[in-house]
Amino acid sequence: MTNTQAHLPDKVTRRNWWAQRAMKRKSETVDALCAVMQQTDRILTGKPVTVRITPCPSELRGAPAWNDGRNIHLSKESFDKLFTGDRDELRNAVLVAKGTNYHEVAHLKFT
């Protein structure tokens, strides 16, 4: 038994520990992706763009992303559906997130 397992007395606790670990890993992955997109967006636009994951306002009716002229907001609901943890789905989720982000960059740059 490893030192980590010694602190996990039963099956339920272990399951919760693994679930929390998976959620933390997902959060760190999403944060890292946002940081990379933000830096890329700043280079592409020449503006101090920020990329944030926020709940979608009701007036936008489930839009996957939007911008306010300075910030790109990616829908928390869309991200939660995309990032499920499966490796193949993660790859697809990153592609969708990047495409959505670059769509918003085009709005900032050209409209």
Q: How far apart are CA 7 and CA 64, in angstroms?
A: 41
**For residue range 23-52, what is the model confidence (pLDDT) as tens digits?**
888 788 889 999 999 999 999 999 999 999
Q: What is the rounded average pLDDT for all residues in the chain?
A: 86
If one compares 99 and 79, the residue with the highest pLDDT of the two is 99
Q: Once rounded to an integer, what is the mean pLDDT over residues 5-20? A: 70
Helices (H), 46-86: 76-82
Give SS3 for 3. helix
Q: Which of 19-28, 71-80, 81-90 holds the top average pLDDT?
A: 71-80
Written as one letter, the residue type at 39 is Q
Pairing of strands 50-54, 71-75: parallel
CA distance 80 to 44: 27
